[in-house]
Structure 1
Amino acid sequence: MHQRPSAATWILLTLAMACSGAHAAQKGAPSNLFDELRPLTGELARYQYLIAATPQLTGNDRLLAQQMLAFSENELGLYSEAVRDFPLRNELPKGLTAPPADRWQAVDGVDAIAALARNRRLVMVNEAHHDGHTRELTLLLLPRLRAEGYTHFAAEALDGRDVSLVKRGYPIASSGSEYLHEPLYGDIVREAIRLGYVIVPHEAADATPQGREDGQARNLYEQVFAHHPEAKLFVHAGYAHIDKQRGRIGSTRPMAMQLSKLSGLEPLSVDQTDVREQNPRSEALAYHTFRHALRKFETLTQAARQPLDSNDPGDLPARPAADIYARIVATFHPSEPIALLRIDDHTPWSARPGVYDLNIILPPANPAPSDYTQGPLWLSIDGKQQAVLPPANRGHRPPWLSLGGLRVAVPVDSEACAKKFPCLVEAHYASESADAVAADRYLFLRDARNVLYLRPGAYRLRSVGADGQTLNERAIVVTRP
C-alpha cells in the first residue's frame, strides 16, 4: 500500500517543484543512473524508469534525472509536461531590459532569418532539447534556406553510422540519439532529405566539454567547407553550440566559434533558448495562488503546526514576477515565431550581442495550469504505485503542433489501453517501416481523449502498452476538413 499525502501538502509540493529553477548543464552525473538507462532503448521504458528513480535521488542527481525525464516526455509527445517538469532558467546578462515598442518592431522570424542569411554561407539555429517547440523554426526554415542556395544540413542528433538514411528518406530509431525519436525532429530530417540537402552528421567522439566543441567544428569543416568551398551550411544544434564567443558555457570555446576559425566564415547565429517559455506563467500563477490560499487558511484558523511565516498574507495573492519573455509577449503579442528589429535601422535584437546575432521569440504554448486539485495520477510500474503530476495545460496539446495548418488534429483515445497506463498511441507513415520515427505520438496516463497532429495522408495508428507490446494497430487516412 502506498501512503498518499494530504491534498494540500501534495499540491504545494508539486507546484513548488514545477516552479523551481533548473540549469541545463549538470556535472558529476550518477553513473548508476546512466548504467540503468543505457540498455533501455525505448522511450516508454526510459520514461517509466525515470518516474520511479527520480524521487529516490537528491541534489544534482535529482535535477539531472528531472532533465532526462523531460527529454523522455518530449519524445513521447508530452510537450507541455516537459516544459513544466524541467523549467530551465538561463541566467541572462545583468541589466538586460525588454525592447520597447516605440523603438522595436516584431517581424516574422522565418522572413527575418531568410533575409539575413541571403549573403551568408553559415546559419546556426539552436534548440532546447526538452522543448519540441524550439524545433518548429528549423522545420519552417528548411525550404526557405534551400531557396537561398543552402546546400548542406547538419543536425546534432544524427549518427553517421546510418549510411542508408538518405536513400531510405526517413530516420529510424538507430539513426541517432534519443532526441531524434521525437516526431518533429524526425520530420526535420525527412524534410531536409526531401528538399535535397546534403545531410551532415557531426557529433564528436570526445565527450569532454572542449573536446566535443572542437570535434563538432572539425567534423563540419572537414565534411563541408574543406571539400566544398562554395557550400552553404544550415546547422541545427543545442543551446550554446551556436555561440560565437565564450560565456554561456564558461571558458569553453563553442563549436560555432571554432568552426568560424577553421572556415573563415562568420555564422549567422540564432538563439531560441535564452528568451522562451521556460516556466509557464500559468503554473507559476497557480503556485502563488494556492500558496496564498493555504497561508490565508492557516492564518485565519491558527491551526497550522508549521506556519509558512508569521506575516498575514493579505487579501490578494502575490503574482509571480514577469520575466523578460513575459514582458516581450505582453508588448508584441506573438502568434508565430518572431524576431525584433530596430525601427530606425532594422538591426535585430539580441540578448547577448556578439555571442549570437538575434533571438527568436516563440508564442506562449501553455496558457492553462495543470489541474492540481485532482491530486496525483498513479501509475503501476514494476508492481509499485508511482505518483505523477496531472496532465499539463489541462491536458490540451499545444496549438503550435499544427505547424501553421500543415498538420490536422486527428482525435484519438485510450480505449485500446484497457485501463492500463502509461499507454502510448502513435501514428506512423504507412509507407515507412515499423522502426521509423513516428509522425506524432501521445502518452496517455489515464483514460482520456486527445488528438494527434498529422499531415494529410495514410498512416498506421498503433497503441503500445507499458511493456512495449503492441495492443492494437489499424490503418487510417487523414484528410483536410
Structure 2
Amino acid sequence: MTIRRITAVLGCLLWMGSMPVNAIAQSAAAWQAQQAAAEDKADKLLLMAKQQKGLLAQYRALMQGLADDDSPAFRMIFGQYLAWYASYIGDYPVAMRAFTIRQTLQPGDNASPLAQGGYVAQPALDAIPELAKNYQVVLLNEAHNIGMTRSLTVPLLSRLYAQGFRYFAAETLMESDTGLQARGYPTHDSGFYTEEPIYGEMVRTALKLGFKVIAYEATSNLSNPDAREAEQARHLYERVFAKDPHARLVINAGFDHIVKSGSYLGGRSMAEHLARLTDASMLSIDQTAMYPHPNSNGDHPYYTAAMQQEKPTEPIVFVDSKGKPWSLRPAYDVTVFFPPEKLERKRPTWLSLWGLREAHLVSGDGCRDHYPCLIEARYSNEGPDAIAADRLLLDQTPMAVSISGLAAYGSTQAVPSGDLYLRPGSYELSFTAEGDKVEHRETIQVP
C-alpha cells in the first residue's frame, strides 16, 4: 500500500474539518488546489525522508521539511505525516500538536449526557465488555496520530476475549506478512500504523491472547473512497464470516470507517458495507471525539463539562439505568471520554495503558553523549526485528521547528533521562543515535 492510498481517504475527512480561518475566504476550488499541491509536495518529502537510515533520521528530516514551508495547506497535510512519525518515536505530545482536529458541536449531535439526566459515568474497561455481550462484532476507532485513542483498546482485548471474541482485525495490516500469527509480534513489514509502539502492542496483545489476527486493508489501486470501504468489508467477510458465520470479531479502524449509518465520503463506510454482507450485530465505539487537545479550545464543549463534573482518572462512558450507552452521534453506539492528559517527566501517563504498564526510569548514559538519541525497549523473547514496546527520545537541546509548541524532549541535565512504560518482564534496550548507529545495548528486568 502506498502512502497516498492511506492518506487520500483519511485526508479528505480531516482537511474539511480543519480548514484554517484565513483559508475560509478563499474559494473552495482554490483551497482544494492548494491542498493537492501540498499533498504532492508532502508525499515527495516523505519519500525522501524514508530514504534516511533509521526512524530518528527520518523524523529529523520531516521536522526540517515542516520548518521550510509555513503555508497553511502544507502545514495541515504535512503536519499529519510528521504526527505519525512523532508517535512512532514515542514523542506523543508533539504528535498531538502537529496535527489535531478541533471538536465542535455538530447538527444532529445528541444532547449531553449531563443535560439529559439518567446517565451515569462508568469505567469504560468495565462497561464496554458488558455491552459487548450481546454483539457479534465490536468496532473501535482511533485518531491515528493520537496514541491515547488506542490506549484503551489494548486492555479491552483481554476482556473481550473472555467474552468469546476470537478474531481481531486492524486497519493497514499487510496481508503480505504471512508469518505474523506464528511469529507472535509485529515487525516493520507488518503494516503502516503498527510502527507506532502502542499500535504494535495492540497487535501483539491480540496474538498473545489467542486472537486470530486479520489483515483487511484494501489492496487494489483504488482512488474512490467507497471502493476502498467496500473492499475492506469484503476482505473481512471472506476472511472471517464466510469461513465462520458465528465468529465474534473485534475491529480497529480510523475515525468514521466504523459509522453504522449515514453518508461517508460520498459513499458508505466499511462498517455499513460489512453490515450488508453479514447479519452480524455490531457495537460501534467512538474514541475520537472526547479526548484532551493541546489547547482546551479544541475540546468538545461536552468534554469540558464532563471533566469538570466527573474528574475521571481513567476512560469513562455514560450508561443509563436501562443499560443503554450514550453516544455523541447517532451513527455510533458508544462514545468514550478520555481523562485529561497528565505528563510526568514529559511523557503522558496514559502510556501505562490504564494499569498494564509502569514507568521505568532510564538514563541517557547509554547514548554515549550522542544526541538526539532514541532508546527502544524490545521484549527479550522477541527478535531484533520486533516493533519496540516503547520508544523514548532524549536530547540535550530540543529539536525545534517553527510551529508553536513543537520540540522533542529536551533537558538541561548533563545526562538526560526519561521514562519507558513497560509491562513486567525482560527487555533488550538499544540506544541509537542518528545514522542508525547503536551506541549501547543492555538487558533490563522490570519487576
Pick the TM interval, shorter chain. 0.7 to 0.9
User: How many aligned positions are there?
Assistant: 391
Query: Matched residue of 2:434: which SS?
Result: coil
- The CA deviation at 1:60 is 1.8
Partner of residue 8, structure 2: none
Do structure 1's residue 234 and structure 2's residue 250 form an aligned pair? Answer: yes
Partner of residue 48, structure 1: 60
- The CA deviation at 1:322 is 7.3
- Contact conserved, 2:430 with 2:440, CA < 8 A, in 1? yes
Letter in 2 for 1:212: R
User: What does 1:73-92 align with in structure 2 at a 5 Å threshold?
Assistant: 73-92=86-105
User: What does 1:123-202 align with in structure 2 at a 5 Å threshold?
Assistant: 123-177=138-192, 179-202=193-216
- Contact conserved, 2:427 with 2:445, CA < 8 A, in 1? yes
Runs (5+) with no aligned partner, structure 2: 1-16, 21-31, 397-410
Cα 1:358/1:111, change in 2 over 3 Å: same
What are the superposed Cα offsets for residues 379-405 of structure 1, whole Å, 9 maximum, x if unpaired?
xxxxxxxxxxxxxx5852111212333
User: What does 1:460-475 align with in structure 2 at a 5 Å threshold?
Assistant: 460-475=428-443
What is the aligned-residue identity percentage? 39
- Contact conserved, 1:121 with 1:231, CA < 8 A, in 2? yes
Partner of residue 31, structure 1: 40
- The CA deviation at 1:250 is 3.8
TM-score normalised per structure 1: 0.76
Letter in 2 for 1:60: A
- The CA deviation at 1:88 is 1.9
Partner of residue 326, structure 2: 349
Do structure 1's residue 417 and structure 2's residue 367 form an aligned pair? Answer: yes
Partner of residue 326, structure 1: 304
Do structure 1's residue 118 and structure 2's residue 96 form an aligned pair? Answer: no
The whole-number CA distance in structure 2 between the counterparts of 1:243 and 1:91 is 18
- Within the candidate set 118, 136, 141, 1:103 is matched to 118
What are the superposed Cα offsets for residues 45-95 of structure 1, whole Å, 9 maximum, x if unpaired?
331121101133322222111111111111111112222332322444237
- The CA deviation at 1:223 is 0.7
Letter in 2 for 1:363: P
Do structure 1's residue 61 and structure 2's residue 74 form an aligned pair? Answer: yes
Cα 1:350/1:405, change in 2 over 3 Å: closer
What are the superposed Cα offsets for residues 301-339 of structure 1, whole Å, 9 maximum, x if unpaired?
xxxxxxxxxxxxxxxxxxx99732121111222211111
The whole-number CA distance in structure 1 between the counterparts of 2:93 and 2:380 is 28
- The CA deviation at 1:445 is 3.0
Partner of residue 359, structure 1: 335
What are the superposed Cα offsets for residues 331-385 of structure 1, whole Å, 9 maximum, x if unpaired?
222211111012x4332111101x110101111114xxxxxxxxxxxxxxxxxxx
Partner of residue 407, structure 2: none
Partner of residue 305, structure 1: none
- The CA deviation at 1:99 is 2.1
- Contact conserved, 1:47 with 1:73, CA < 8 A, in 2? yes
Cα 1:321/1:124, change in 2 over 3 Å: closer
Query: Matched residue of 2:152: which SS?
Result: helix
The whole-number CA distance in structure 1 between the counterparts of 2:62 and 2:284 is 34
- The CA deviation at 1:33 is 2.5
Q: CA RMSD in A?
A: 2.3
- Within the candidate set 432, 445, 452, 2:382 is matched to 432
Cα 1:227/1:92, change in 2 over 3 Å: farther
- Contact conserved, 2:187 with 2:386, CA < 8 A, in 1? yes
Query: Matched residue of 1:154: which SS?
Result: strand
Letter in 2 for 1:72: Y
TM-score normalised per structure 2: 0.82
Query: Matched residue of 2:210: which SS?
Result: coil
Query: Matched residue of 2:290: which SS?
Result: coil
Letter in 1 for 2:244: H
Letter in 1 for 2:121: A
The whole-number CA distance in structure 1 between the counterparts of 2:224 and 2:249 is 25
Do structure 1's residue 478 and structure 2's residue 446 form an aligned pair? Answer: yes
The whole-number CA distance in structure 1 between the counterparts of 2:83 and 2:344 is 18
Query: Matched residue of 1:53: which SS?
Result: helix
The whole-number CA distance in structure 2 between the counterparts of 1:321 and 1:238 is 19
- Contact conserved, 1:23 with 1:88, CA < 8 A, in 2? no
- The CA deviation at 1:121 is 0.7
The whole-number CA distance in structure 1 between the counterparts of 2:365 and 2:305 is 42
Cα 1:219/1:207, change in 2 over 3 Å: farther
What are the superposed Cα offsets for residues 240-267 of structure 1, whole Å, 9 maximum, x if unpaired?
11111234x4423110011001112231
Letter in 2 for 1:186: G
- Contact conserved, 2:293 with 2:299, CA < 8 A, in 1? no
Letter in 2 for 1:243: V
User: What does 1:226-375 align with in structure 2 at a 5 Å threshold?
Assistant: 226-247=242-263, 249-281=264-296, 323-342=301-320, 344-353=321-330, 355-366=331-342
Runs (5+) with no aligned partner, structure 1: 1-20, 285-319, 367-392
The whole-number CA distance in structure 2 between the counterparts of 1:259 and 1:23 is 31
